Chain A
């Protein structure tokens, strides 16, 4: 359960910097957030590009580094969850198969156990489907926490008080568990 340490490193504050420096610093964080929402590398990259394009075209005014990071996380999460909701309305089984088929040969070669990888993909799709059914705010809290944001960072990204984050996470975790167990019971998994 410990948050992703690599993402924590990406959260270190810096001073004023160029767009290129901002992009390089936060691209991984934004991409990770987008990927966790959509589960497809090409779509996650499109979302990440869109996030930074918006940042480039209409940069937020007079914000410090923490606010810049929060802005990027917020837009990435919004776009990612929007995409997830849109896609979840359709049957996504074919998409998952298509995604697997699109994997490059080099990726496949890198897999030690393709069968295990497919199972992991199905597990991720299962979790993503649960997430997609949850209220948007709860999706956001879980996603942000799962990539390692602190309560203060989650608060800044979502606009709630830091003191409220524990309670909001508690509610989101309880809802996630309830839906997970409902699905497991329904599918006999």
Chain B
């Protein structure tokens, strides 16, 4: 072990994140009491605490050298005067993106499987549950009975349909009950209406792939909550039917509940039937013309989705690790899949994205945030998925042109 690794300690000792939160005065009173009591009795943790304090002094003293000197501080009043002058000179007004006409119908719309609220919410719930299952041991989440997990980034994993030809993957309903609240979809909205229904600033593209044209149609997926409760009886019935009679279900899993919450999100689709060829909005930078020329020749389906990252709260009598270990031990679970899931560095928020072999995934960076560029090998379509600042963004449609997709993703303003 070198000095940059955490010292080894037993299950009862305090980890570094706890000591740092203690140092920073950020623990809840009950946690603080526990830490203080432990430090008084454990010489190893007391030494570790001193090290954390000393390191903190060193780090934040160094970072303090980045602060501006007194002479370099600019007065807010003079800065405001300059700002007002700049706004006047550039003729900026507080603009909103123009309201665009709703779409009546399109081929792509019929193909959007996630337009069913249940499909959409179930997909989110399933994805987050999968993430929960593979959260690595220890850490701040796994050892707590009450945890909060927020999706932060994505990791592709390959799912080979051949592996499940004889034995399909189980669904949530095989292990318990899932109750859905909310998750409605409101269609044919104007941008202003959509903006009122979501709690974030809707980003718009200043560029779209060649062949994508027309007006934007707005839909809002209202907030939803799924409460999944593990049920040992249902699970036993599933195991008995699927070759898992010998598998023991940990008693404390029964009744464990996971509540997945997602706030309202927006979906925007380009309407290829419109004659509009110019999309104007004010989200682009001050130096450009705030407009984007759009090719109107074929009207390829193309959508943009913006959704706050789902969160999941785990309550009950079992730890997340126990649930994860149990589910990864299920019969007929392909070893390659288990290996991939266990190999993911989740880093407190990575979520696996299952992909069939014909879909290729490439790690990319969009607006400085990690994301995935997905493309069909044929290629008949593709998309980009990324997360930043608590939001999940996706753009995609009937184009497999990676450059065009990336350019579109990076143009969101």
Contact = CB atoms under 8 A, between A and B. Distances in A.
Contacts of A131: 63, 66
Interface string A106-142: 1100110000010010011001100100001000001
Interface stretch (B18-26, B124-132, B170-178, B378-386): B18-26
Return the 7 tightest CB-CB contacts between A and B, nearest first.
A159-B390, A166-B21, A167-B17, A27-B76, A166-B17, A36-B66, A1-B60
Interface string B65-99: 11111111110110110110011000010111000
B288 to A, nearest CB: 12
Given A27-B80, A166-B24, 20 more contacts: A1-B56, A1-B57, A4-B67, A23-B76, A24-B76, A24-B77, A28-B76, A53-B92, A56-B87, A58-B201, A145-B60, A151-B21, A151-B26, A158-B390, A159-B390, A166-B20, A166-B21, A169-B24, A173-B20, A177-B58
Interface string A143-161: 1011000110000011111
A41 B72 contact: yes
Nearest to A50: B286
B68 A63 contact: no
A78 B61 CA distance: 23
Contact of B87 (A53, A78, A110): A53
Nearest to B25: A150
B309 interface: yes
B68 A35 contact: yes
B293 to A, nearest CB: 21
A63 B390 CA distance: 15
B195 interface: yes
Contacts of A27: 74, 76, 79-80
A94 to B, nearest CB: 19
B240 interface: no
A59 to B, nearest CB: 7
Contacts of B65: 120, 123-124, 127
B167 interface: no
Interface residues of A, number: 71
A35 B60 CA distance: 16
Interface of A: 1, 4, 20, 23-24, 27-28, 31-32, 35-37, 39, 41, 44-45, 48-49, 52-53, 56-63, 74, 78, 81-82, 103, 106-107, 110-111, 117, 120, 123-124, 127-128, 131, 136, 142-143, 145-146, 150-151, 157-161, 163-170, 173-174, 176-178, 180-181
Contacts of B82: 49
Given A61-B200, A62-B199, A159-B389, A173 B59 contact: yes
20 contacts: A20-B80, A31-B79, A35-B66, A41-B74, A44-B68, A53-B286, A57-B92, A58-B201, A62-B199, A123-B65, A127-B63, A143-B63, A146-B60, A151-B26, A160-B348, A160-B390, A164-B148, A165-B21, A170-B16, A174-B4
A170 to B, nearest CB: 4
B150 A177 contact: no
Contacts of A146: 60, 63-64, 66
B360 interface: no
B309 A167 contact: no
Given A1-B60, A142-B59, A167-B139, A45 B348 contact: no
Contacts of B63: 36, 127, 131, 142-143, 146
B282 interface: yes
B283 interface: yes
B258 interface: no
A41 B70 CA distance: 11
Contacts of A24: 76-77, 80
**Interface magnitude class on chain B:** 35 or more
B73 A57 contact: no
Nearest to A41: B72
Per DSSP, are chain A's interface residues mostly helix, strand or loop, or mixed?
helix
Interface of B: 4, 6, 16-18, 20-21, 24, 26, 55-74, 76-77, 79-80, 82-83, 86-87, 92, 94-96, 139-141, 147-150, 152, 195-196, 198-202, 282-283, 286, 309, 311, 348-349, 367-368, 388-391
A170 B17 contact: yes
Contact of A61 (B16, B80, B196, B283): B196
A129 B65 CA distance: 13
B370 to A, nearest CB: 9
Nearest to B2: A178
A170 B74 contact: no
A163 B140 contact: yes
Contact of B4 (A32, A36, A145, A177): A177
Given A32-B68, A44-B68, A128-B66, A169 B152 contact: no
A150 B196 CA distance: 30
Contacts of A145: 24, 60
B71 A110 contact: yes
Given A159-B391, A164-B348, A63 B24 contact: no
Contacts of B6: 174
B61 A58 contact: no
Given A56-B87, A124-B65, A31 B348 contact: no
